[in-house]
Amino acid sequence: MASGRTATGGSQKRGSLICLVAGAGGRIRKMRDKLLKMRDELKRLSAMGDAAAAVVELDQSKVGRLSRMDAMQAQAVAQDTASRRDLMIRRIQAALERIDAGEYGRCQSCDEDIPPKRLEIEPTALFCIRCASEQEISSS
Ligand SMILES: [Zn+2]
């Protein structure tokens, strides 16, 4: 277990792509596990969310008109959360497919490698930081 592969940081920049791929193998496998766990968790939450939405509907018929707005609002929030969760599940699914295709970690826009640190924070990232910020600017 103690293979001494702890990242000490610093000057580990390598020019060779082959070297990078070989070194990334373990990391990508770990990322795959992480993504699978995330997806399972989201699916679990999604099942729970469906139950919560059903509860809101029940409440709606039980309570009067005044809190109907509250119920509708709560439902809207639940739906919003659910759709965001679905989107996340799709993004995770896409990331897993990219891993299997050997495309994972490559920017979909400029074809450059996405820094591993960025992938750790955002495992479903499709773009490198530069392209992502350009996308954000153009979409906002
Ligand atoms: Zn890019």
Q: What is the pLDDT of residue 66?
A: 59
Residues with CB under 5 A from ligand 1 (ion): 107, 109-110, 128, 131
The amino acid present at 108, given as its one-letter code, is Q
Structure confidence by residue, pLDDT tens digits, 37-89: 999 999 998 888 777 666 656 555 555 665 778 888 888 988 898 899 999 99
Distance from the CA of 106 to the center of ligand 1, in angstroms? 8
* Closest CA relative to residue 39, chosen from 78, 87, 93, 84: 93
Tokens 């920017």 sit at which residue?
Answer: 107
Distance from the CA of 115 to the center of ligand 1, in angstroms? 10
CB 114 within 8 A of CB 95: no
Whether residue 4 has pLDDT greater than 60:
no
CB 86 within 8 A of CB 74: no
Distance from the CA of 52 to the center of ligand 1, in angstroms? 39
Distance from the CA of 18 to the center of ligand 1, in angstroms? 20
Distance from the CA of 4 to the center of ligand 1, in angstroms? 32
> Which of 18-22, 38-42, 111-115, 119-123 bottoms out in mean pLDDT, i.e. has the lowest?
18-22
In this prediction the pTM is 0.66
Distance from the CA of 3 to the center of ligand 1, in angstroms? 33
Whether residue 126 has pLDDT greater than 90:
yes
CB 121 within 8 A of CB 114: no
* Sequence-ordered alpha helix ranges (H) in 4-16: none
CA distance 129 to 46: 30
